[in-house]
Structure 1
Amino acid sequence: MNAKWKILTLSLMAAMMLAACNTADKDGSDAADSPDAGETATGDGAAGTADEETDGSSEEDSGSADGQEADGSEERGPDRELTYEKDGSQKSGKAALTDSDAQDYSIYVLDGFELTSEEPGKDSLYYTEDDANFMRIEVFDEDGADYAKTVSGMEEMLAGQGSDPEDAAGNYGLAGDPSIDELVVKQAKTDEGLTTGAVFAASGKIVRLTVFEGPEGGLADAFLSMGATVGPKK
């Protein structure tokens, strides 16, 4: 009887030991298959950093593009709204980008005006309702022209019109145009009306404008506002 209990006891102990071994092996296998908690946290942190860097890069790219648009010069589209003063009132109108046939430039021309090329190096912009009102346009490469001589030539021409030319830069809107430099505007009264001359630098060119107005006048600011848009051909 004692021998039977002894055998039974030994059998139970062996079964318990075998079960314990199987449990330990399973726990070890699970631990090996499962990623370490610290490694998981590190991986999540790295992913978060990568996302932040990507977002930051996108914001920088967007900011750079916006900055380029803000710093870039105004695009010369097919038309533009121009403002000018006439008879003491502020006016505005749609102007179409027009290439000169004879010179290397384009200009925005308001409705009611027409650009023509009459002789080499000189264009005329006419008021279609009364061609006694027009503006002569001469455009020179900045590298090949003498700015001071261009100004003196304009002043001599005005002096030959009648009265001594007077400074008139403050009378017209192009004085505040940021796209032009070294602006000189002079004006002389004539028997026919008023003659206004302007010289400035813009887009690598020296531009000379001469506005001839009849007795009615009142169009000089419109002409000069168009003249201030002289730039590269489209």
Structure 2
Amino acid sequence: MSKTIKLIITLSLSIAVLAACNTAEESTTTESEKENVTATTESKEVNESVETEDTKAEDAQKEEDTAAEETQSTLTFYSKGESKTEEVTEISGERYTLQAIPGFSLTPEEPGKDMLIYDQDDTVSMRIEALTTSATTFDDLVANTEQTMAAISEDYKPYDISAFVEGQNLSNSTAYVANFDTEEVITVVFLKADKLVRLTIYDNTEVDLSEAMIKMGLTIK
């Protein structure tokens, strides 16, 4: 075999090898680019999925907040056997705010105590005592309340407010009632966040706004 032919064969093989290498490199580059595109697409899809879930969570929270605001804008209660719904307005005491229906006025009584009075009949009212957990304990306030109720009537008894306190985020609560012919006295003690509150409600069968006053008192914050 002549040197010229060998040289031609060698050159041909070298060119073939180089071509194969270039093809392999191009193939590798193409595959790498495809992998990068795929990874980028998957990452984008994951991010979009996360953003969608976050958006859904935010929308759900906004709906809950709106519903809560709508719920707090009215108060529904029973009076003389009928269900009534009234719009509420926020009013402020010395250490708290509460939602009140029309026809009631808040009057300071003494430091730490206010009276929520029914405008049409001032014998119908609710004394509000708002304390902090640093001033006393729930158990001590309940014990003091029982002593007060015993002084009002030996026949006082526990009063079920479970239907009223549902969803109010209270840490603890209890209530008592004493009945006198057409009148009644109800005391409610509850712990809400860092506030200890005692409500003393004076009502009569002619007006019958005990439930309304209890529910107003439970909105204290």
TM over 0.5, yes or no?
yes
8 Å Cα contact 1:173/1:225 also seen in 2: no
| Partner of residue 125, structure 1 | 116
8 Å Cα contact 2:171/2:193 also seen in 1: no
Where do 5+ consecutive residues of structure 1 fail to align? Answer: 1-27
| Partner of residue 59, structure 1 | 52
| Partner of residue 87, structure 1 | 80
Poorly superposed stretches of 4+, deviation over 4 Å: 34-37, 66-72, 74-77
1:46–1:53 Cα change, 3 Å: same
Q: Write the distance in 2 (CA, Å) between the matches of 1:141 and 1:162.
A: 28
Where do 5+ consecutive residues of structure 2 fail to align? Answer: 1-18
Q: Write the distance in 1 (CA, Å) between the matches of 2:182 and 2:77.
A: 23
TM-score if structure 2 supplies the norm length?
A: 0.75
Counterpart of 1:168, as a letter, is Y
C-alpha RMSD of the superposition: 3.1
Q: Write the distance in 2 (CA, Å) between the matches of 1:71 and 1:142.
A: 30
| Partner of residue 8, structure 2 | none
1:218–1:177 Cα change, 3 Å: farther
TM-score if structure 1 supplies the norm length?
A: 0.71
Deviation at 1:64?
A: 5.2
| Partner of residue 229, structure 1 | 219
Counterpart of 1:214, as a letter, is N
| Partner of residue 12, structure 2 | none
1:87–1:192 Cα change, 3 Å: closer
Q: Percent of aligned positions with the same letter in both sequences?
A: 24
Q: Structure 1 residue 134 and structure 2 residue 125: aligned? A: yes
* Aligned with residue 216 of structure 1, among 197, 206, 209: 206
Deviations 1:89-141 (A, max 9, x none): 222111111111xx311111111111111211110111111111000000110
| Partner of residue 5, structure 1 | none
Larger radius of gyration: 1
| Partner of residue 105, structure 1 | 96
- State the secondary structure of the residue aligned to 1:160: helix
Deviates more, 1:137-146 or 1:186-195: 186-195
